Amino acid sequence: MTASAYRDHLGRPIVAVTGMGIITSLGQGLGDNWAALSSGTSGIHEINRFPTEGLSTRIAGTVDFIGIPVPNAVERSYAFARETTIEALAVPAFPVISTVRYSSPPRRSSRNGARASSLPTVRRPPTIRVMPMSVS
C-alpha cells in the first residue's frame, strides 16, 4: 500500500482514535469521573492554586491532585497529557459496540392534523457503528 493511502485529500494523515484518557476536577480516569458524575458529586471547589483576593469568584473546577515538579502551566499541561496518554494506551482499542439505533421522536400534531409549529423538525440520525481499526 502506498503512503498516500494513509492521507486525506489535503495530504493530512488519517488518524484513528483507539483510546481516550480523561482528567477533570472530578478525578482521573473514566472510572473516577463516571462514579463522581453518577453519584452527583460536584467538581467545583475553593481555588487554592493561586490567590483569589480581588477576583469575583473563589471557586472553580480546578485539577489540583496531579503531582507536578514545578507549579507552572507547562508542567501542568505536560502532566495532564502524560496521564491521559497512559490511560488511553491502557485500553488499546474501543470494543466492538453493537449497532446503536435511534428511534424517531413521537410526532405531535395540532387539532387540524398539521405538525405543531412550536416543535422543531428532528431528523433521525443514521445508524452508528463503532468498530476497532487496525492498520498493517
**Where do the DSSP E strands lie in the chain?**
23-24, 27-28, 45-46, 59-60, 97-100, 128-130
Is the Cβ–Cβ distance between 123 and 102 less than 8 Å? no
Q: Which three cell numbers stand for residue 78?
A: 505536560
Domain boundaries, the chain: 1-100
Q: Which three cell numbers stand for residue 91?
A: 485500553
CATH number corresponding to 1-100: 3.40.47.10
Give 21's contacts (C-beta < 8 A, 6+ positions apart).
29, 83, 84, 85, 86, 87, 88
pLDDT of residue 93: 55
Q: Which three cell numbers stand for residue 61?
A: 473546577
pLDDT tens for 49-91 read 889 999 999 999 999 888 888 888 899 999 999 999 888 888 6
pLDDT of residue 30: 85
Say whether 87 sits in a helix, a strand or coil: helix
